[in-house]
Structure formats: C-alpha cells, structure tokens
Structure 1
Amino acid sequence: MASHFEDARYYMGRAVDHAKAGIKEELEPLEERVRELTGTENEPEPSRLEKLQGDLKELEGRAEGEAREAVESARGRLAAYREQREE
C-alpha cells in the first residue's frame, strides 16, 4: 500500500513539473510582448568570460593607480636626494 502512495507522489511531482514547463512555454510570448511594450529587457547573466574581463579591468585600474603612486613617491625621493646633494 505504501508503494502505491510513493508512486502516486512521484507521478504527481512529474505532473507538476510538466504543468509548470507548459505554463512557462505558453506565457513566454506574452512576457516578451509585455517587455517590449514597457521597454524593460531581461538582462542576461554575465558569462564567465565577461566576469573575468571585468575582474581584469578592475585589477588593471588598481595596478595603474599603485604604479602612479610608486612613480610619484620615487620622484619625490629623487628630488629630495638631489636637493640634499646640492647643499
């Protein structure tokens, strides 16, 4: 008897999954039409490549800033050294 309930539960779950997929399939054109009319679009998830490119861009910006700071610091030390030698 318990196996009958287990089977029924399994098939009910499958029926729900199929119904959900069918409803989604039927409503997709309507969703697209509403999005066109309202001017909102589905933003796709960034791909793995796009995420890596964004990370690299961020690292590039940070490295560029650190390099500028290092150059400014070196110029300051060089100027101080030259002033000290002239005295």
Structure 2
Amino acid sequence: MNRHFTDARYYFRRGFEHLYAGIDEETAPFRRDLMERMGREAEPEEEEEITLETRRERVEYGARRAATRSREAAGKVRRRVRRTSQ
C-alpha cells in the first residue's frame, strides 16, 4: 500500500511542476509588458554556462547515485528472498 502512496506523491509533484512551468511560460509575455509599463526592467534570464568540470561532476554524481540505488535494490531483493525461504 505504501508503494501506491509513494507513486501518487511522485506523480502529483511531477504534475504540479509541469503545471507551474506551463503557467510561467504562458504568462511570461504579460509579465514583461507589465514590467515595462511600471518602468522596471524585466529580470534577465540567466543562462548557466556549463563547463567541462561541471559536466564531469554531474556524471560522477550520477554514477555514485546509480551505484547506491543498485546496492539498495539488491539489498531489498536479498531481504525478500530471506523472508520467502524461511
């Protein structure tokens, strides 16, 4: 049962993120016009410059995360096998 709640929470969060991104994208022109009329500059969109070192760090992080998740999955399988063999 807990797995179902976990899945539901994941999909709810993901749906909310998509909803937020969609609203943000749709209202961007209106916000820009409003900022111009108020005499303020629109916030510049920052483009992140990704260096080779940053990419390397991200790959290493992903590899560590994958290794950790695979060890956790293997542990769960071992526990299940022990429970069923008893």
Which structure shows the bigger proportion of residues in helix conformation?
Answer: 1
- TM-score of the superposition, structure 1-length normalised? 0.47
- TM-score of the superposition, structure 2-length normalised? 0.48
Q: Which structure has the larger Rg?
A: 1
